[in-house]
């Protein structure tokens, strides 16, 4: 069978793009300025690819794919990865595919390809990242478990990094309460790290989802974890830091979350505890101090929508009477999503000038249908 027949599904094309040499963010942005979809480059001729700025070895790989040259190193590697995925039950999901999560698609330098084991539909659920110290205290581990269990019960999907300490406790807290959880890892899904969490990883695959941007065979490396962190925060509506020292990688996740327009929450601790100092620093810098699950839900604007039916007297936006809105406000409401969108993006989506857009957003806020947030505006709930 030809290599194009073996590697010609939508996700396989994204796999090829992810393997192209020096196909970085700036080059991808340049390509998108000239075509609708990144995968279009696989049909372009060498002269066009050169004009777009692709490196010679990247052009050679595209030409090899077009010529059905199964011996080219990039195509050999793509076939190896695809075979390894089939053998390990790993699915692939490309940036341009319908199943790729919208929240992640809109972050800076979104991964071209996700590898996953478990339930891919979970990627579209409202998520909260829960992160913290690998050297957590007993109290910190218990906090992580309790918050993960309660927030799962209240409708948020817990996402974390499968690391020792707080991450593992958060995953276990959600699972033990009977809810799924998502783990984002900095290694191939056949090389799960750390070894101490292999049993936990098995539970997550069975009841939830593990994802990575790294292909099978990739060992965990220190440089991978900051990259993993941007996916945790990118998938999530906010990030809760349970315990963190001043040098904790969790602070990187929190900083990335802020850059992505996500909310940041932190649980305070003893002034004498080294693993509380990172949380205290975040609170000084504007993170929401969290004592209960309600603090998280209220800040996310989802309090009313996540109450059990017997405890909630309000109705969601889909059930509210919109007859008092004119066509302009309805257009803005329809353009809003559950992740913050800038006014520039909303103006482009609705065709409204800035003054009319802001008037409509103010009215929607007064009606309880929209909320302002870091990074723009989003639907209430």
**pLDDT digit string, tens, across residues 38-87:** 999 999 999 999 999 999 999 999 999 999 999 999 999 999 999 999 99
Pick among 3.40.50.720, 1.10.10.10, 3.30.390.10, 3.40.50.920: CATH of 327-379: 1.10.10.10
Residue 372 has pLDDT above 50, yes or no: yes
Provide the CATH topology of domain 121-303. Answer: Rossmann fold (3.40.50)
Confidence of residue 340 (pLDDT cuts 50, 70, 90): confident
Q: Using pLDDT thresholds of 50, 70 and 90, give the confidence band for residue 331.
A: confident
Reply yes or no on whether the pLDDT at 309 is more than 70.
Answer: no
> Tokens in use for 267?
């649980």
* 261 has a pLDDT exceeding 80: yes
Mean pLDDT across 128-144: 95
d(CA 57, CA 78): 15
Spatial CA neighbour of 373 closest among 345, 337, 340: 340
d(CA 350, CA 212): 35
- Residue 379 structure tokens: 């639907």
* Type and span of the H or E element at 182: strand 181-184
Q: Pick the residue with more confidence: 370 or 166? A: 166
Q: What are phi and psi of 233, to 5 degrees?
A: -70, -35
Instruction: Parse the chain into domains and list their residue ranges.
Output: 3-88, 121-303, 327-379
Q: Is the pTM of this model over 0.85?
A: no
Predicted pLDDT of residue 322: 62
User: What count of Cα atoms within 13 Å lies in the side-chain half-sphere of residue 125?
Assistant: 20
d(CA 26, CA 86): 32
Give the tens place of pLDDT for each residue, 204-215.
Answer: 999 999 999 999
Mean pLDDT of 89-93: 96
Q: Where are the alpha helices (DSSP H) in the chain?
A: 3-6, 10-19, 25-32, 46-52, 56-66, 73-88, 102-105, 138-153, 166-176, 198-207, 224-235, 249-259, 277-284, 293-300, 327-335, 343-350, 354-366
pLDDT of residue 305: 44
- The residues, ordered by sequence, that sit 6+ positions from 110 with a Cβ below 8 Å of its Cβ are 95, 104, 234
The more confidently predicted of residues 2 and 231 is 231
Please tell me what DSSP assigns to residue 302.
Answer: -
For the chain, what is the mean pLDDT?
Answer: 88
Q: pLDDT class for 287, splitting at 50, 70, 90?
A: very high
């Amino acid at each position: 069978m030809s290599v194009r027949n073996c590697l010609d599904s939508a996700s396989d094309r994204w796999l090829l793009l992810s393997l192209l040499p020096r196909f970085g963010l700036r080059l991808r942005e340049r390509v998108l300025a000239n075509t609708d979809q990144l995968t279009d480059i696989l049909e372009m001729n060498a002269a066009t690819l050169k004009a777009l700025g692709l490196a010679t070895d990247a052009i050679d790989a595209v030409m090899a794919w077009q010529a059905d040259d199964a011996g080219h190193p990039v195509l050999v590697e793509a076939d190896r990865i695809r075979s390894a995925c089939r053998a390990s039950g790993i699915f692939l999901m490309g940036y341009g595919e319908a199943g790729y999560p919208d929240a992640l698609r809109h972050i800076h330098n979104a991964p071209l390809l996700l590898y996953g084991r478990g339930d891919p539909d979970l990627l579209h659920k409202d998520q909260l990242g829960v992160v913290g110290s690998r050297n957590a205290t007993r109290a910190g581990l218990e906090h992580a478990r309790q918050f993960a269990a309660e927030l799962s019960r209240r409708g948020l999907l817990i996402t974390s990094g499968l690391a020792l300490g707080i991450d593992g406790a958060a995953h276990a807290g959600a699972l033990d309460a009977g809810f799924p959880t998502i783990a984002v890892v900095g290694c191939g899904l056949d090389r799960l790290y750390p070894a101490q969490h292999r049993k936990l990883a098995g539970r997550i695959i069975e009841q939830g989802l593990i994802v990575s941007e790294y292909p099978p065979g990739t060992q965990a490396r220190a440089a991978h974890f900051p990259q993993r962190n941007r996916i945790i925060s990118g998938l999530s509506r906010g990030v809760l830091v349970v315990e963190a020292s001043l040098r904790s990688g969790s602070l990187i996740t929190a900083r990335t979350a802020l850059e992505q327009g996500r909310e940041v929450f932190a649980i305070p601790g003893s002034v004498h505890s080294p693993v509380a100092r990172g949380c205290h620093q975040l609170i000084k810098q504007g993170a929401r101090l969290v004592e209960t699950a309600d603090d998280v839900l209220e800040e996310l604007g989802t309090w009313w929508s996540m109450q059990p039916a017997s405890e909630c007297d309000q109705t969601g936006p889909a059930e509210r009477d919109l007859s008092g809105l004119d066509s302009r406000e309805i257009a803005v409401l329809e353009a809003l999503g559950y992740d913050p969108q800038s006014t520039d993006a909303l103006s482009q989506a609705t065709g409204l000038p800035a003054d009319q857009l802001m008037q409509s957003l103010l009215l929607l806020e007064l009606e309880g249908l929209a909320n302002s947030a870091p990074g723009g505006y989003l639907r209430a709930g």
